Chain A
Amino acid sequence: MLTRAQQWLIVGGLLVVLLGLVYGIVYNLRVEHQTLPRLREQHRGIFLAAAQKESVQVQEALAVAQMANYQYVRAIDVHTHLIKMASVSILLGLIFSLVKWDEKLRIALAVLFVSTAVVFPLGVFAQIFSTSVLLQTVAAGAALLAIGSLGFIIWGLARGLRKEEPNSPTNPG
């Protein structure tokens, strides 16, 4: 019913969508409701501490707000990228029959793309808990691999479309 490459892209994409939805629901329930009010309070607190000439508190408030913002940005990033990359994966799966490479390369590209759809957001998620350069490298590497695999897929798509004869059935009757 689906080719091997399509199975990876479509089923893999659906599973990643589910992961993104679960993450979004859990995050919204457990974190988001508390996070945004806390972030706003922290920003306000920085200026209030400065107005009260409490320089030590200002520096502490800046550091706390900076870390909270760092974590918040990445937490949202994980959810967005899981869903978006998964949606692209499913979409590519639908049109993959037109990608003209040999079957081994097609499967490899499909596996690579759907894997990066998980590894990249996981790398960003891990950065919430650690500022390690290694984690940044993992996320950046996964992003570059996603771009590379997508580039090859589009190239294969262009090759496939050049070989087909276009016709345009518009009569629905």
Chain B
Amino acid sequence: MASATRPAALLSERLDSTRILLFGGILLIVLGMVLGEIYAIFVSHIASVEIRERLFTVVSAVGTGDTTTIHAQFDVIEQLLEKRGRIVNTHSHSIAFGFLALVLTVLQPMLGLAEQRKRLFAWLIIAGAFLQSLCVFVSPYVGLWGNWASDVGAALVLVGVLGTLIGLFARWRSPGSLNSVVAPLLQSRSSRILLVGGGLLILLGMLMGVYYAWVFVTQHEPQQWTLLDVALAQALAGEEEGARSTIASYRHIQSKIAIQTAAHSHAIEFGMLAILLGIVQNFVLLDDRWKLRWIWAFLAGSFLLPVFVFTASIVGLVSAGFADLSGFVALVALCAMAVGIIRYTGARDYSGKRSRG
């Protein structure tokens, strides 16, 4: 069990369940964030413009009764939507699994299981997470078995989580406390800033969610179908300009839905990440001044990203660009802290070897 000065209970010198979940979780989150950046910068905006242009062609074809063109345009639109959906699916699952792994990392000392069993469950969670995310991504290229394999990945994660729960119950009445492991990790200034900042981010995200749920149900969800109906009526009446303008409004509503949902979820995810980073600050082997700089950079990027994402639905691409930049700043800060953790584990391994002579 950890003493107040050495967080030794959480990170040992071997590849135990804690390290497997810690590094696997960080890798899942970083890969998910990189995919998110690539999607936001190179895929989302471009695909959105192309879909809108092709819908313009579709409404013209509706007016002239050209079903061949409609089929051809929808073949492309469906491919673009499928690609976007698949990338977002992989991005969000990778990060969600990463969070789960990091949260379970802290619980490892509490599990009443042999280390071998804990390692097995940890590997199941990480392997299942990678399998699920990867198979979702490649499923269009490999056929239906890709979907089945992604389900197998999710099932592996499920078994790992179930094992964790069993491990908790196995040690339910034993002496020792989670707080004696975690509390010493939360004493530094950088931890405190991250804990409160993270909590506020999650709260902000949830407030955005409630607000947007009301807007979605009462306005955006019914509006998009009304606009589609109007656009079709205009196309059939030969009002091509009017139909294109209405389709543009229809696509604008759909963009708003995607953007404001993203703002809500990203605020919460960055908040969770901030709290997790607050727990591991003692393992970030960097100068205190640089630790504080990186956490402020992370929090700044984390608060600004959902704000800019939200305003992108009003202001447009400039705001979206700043959202991408904010995400990049948060990602760089996260990588810097990951480097600090790698330095810590390296230093521990080295000092452990030296003490064994």
Query: Residues of A at under 8 Å CB distance from B?
Result: 1-3, 6, 10-11, 14-15, 17-18, 21-22, 24-25, 28-29, 32-33, 36, 40, 43-44, 46-48, 50-53, 55, 58-59, 62, 65-66, 70, 73, 80, 83-84, 87-88, 90-91, 94-95, 97-98, 136, 140, 143-144, 146-147, 150-151, 153-154, 157-158, 161, 164-170, 172-173
Contacts and interface: CB of A to CB of B under 8 A. Distances in A.
A50 B203 contact: no
A18 B161 contact: yes
B65 A95 contact: no
Given A46-B228, A48-B71, A97-B178, 20 more contacts: A1-B110, A11-B165, A25-B158, A33-B144, A47-B70, A48-B70, A62-B225, A62-B228, A83-B96, A87-B103, A144-B210, A150-B202, A151-B203, A153-B199, A154-B203, A161-B192, A161-B196, A165-B187, A168-B188, A170-B282
A40 B71 CA distance: 12
A21 B154 contact: yes
B272 A143 contact: no
Given A25-B154, A146-B206, A147-B210, A94 B106 contact: yes
26 contacts: A1-B177, A11-B165, A17-B161, A18-B165, A21-B157, A33-B144, A40-B81, A47-B59, A47-B62, A65-B225, A87-B100, A87-B103, A91-B276, A94-B182, A94-B279, A140-B210, A140-B213, A147-B206, A150-B202, A154-B199, A157-B196, A161-B195, A168-B188, A169-B7, A172-B283, A172-B351
A147 B211 CA distance: 12
**Interface residues of A, dominant DSSP:** helix
A1 B272 contact: no
B44 interface: no
Given A14-B164, A95-B279, A140-B210, A147 B150 contact: no
A77 to B, nearest CB: 9
A146 B104 CA distance: 22
Interface residues of B, number: 96
B71 A44 contact: yes
A22 B100 CA distance: 15
Interface in B41-82: 58-59, 61-62, 64-67, 70-71, 74, 78, 81-82
Interface stretch (B114-122, B167-175, B305-313): B167-175
B235 interface: yes
A1 B109 CA distance: 11
B87 to A, nearest CB: 14
B197 to A, nearest CB: 10
A24 B200 contact: no
A11 B62 CA distance: 56
